Structure 1
Amino acid sequence: MTPMRNINRIPPIVLPILSPLIAIASALLVAAILILVAGKNPIAAYTALF
């Protein structure tokens, strides 16, 4: 089964909601990795941000 067939099983109303959430989570994860590479604590950084 190809991955495209799995997308067709997701209800149409879910994709517009799920896509931005995945993008935000991915961005936060990449930023956390970059913060770790810089030698800082990402949890402390996100706590200060929010």
Structure 2
Amino acid sequence: MALAGVLALMSHSTLAYAAIDLLVGHDDRWYLIDLNPAGQYDWLQAACWNRE
């Protein structure tokens, strides 16, 4: 399960928060692309509100 893998990764890295980029392949395998401990998510909300 992907959630268990993410939790194990966070525990191993001793991070309380990180922005994680994942891809899911055609074979339903999950691939870790990036783990950014200073990642931001507010850009998404700002991008959605500023669309006109």
TM-score, length basis structure 1: 0.40
Higher strand share: 2
Larger Rg: 1
| Bigger RCO of structures 1 and 2 (CA < 8 A, at least 6 apart) | 2
Higher helix share: 1
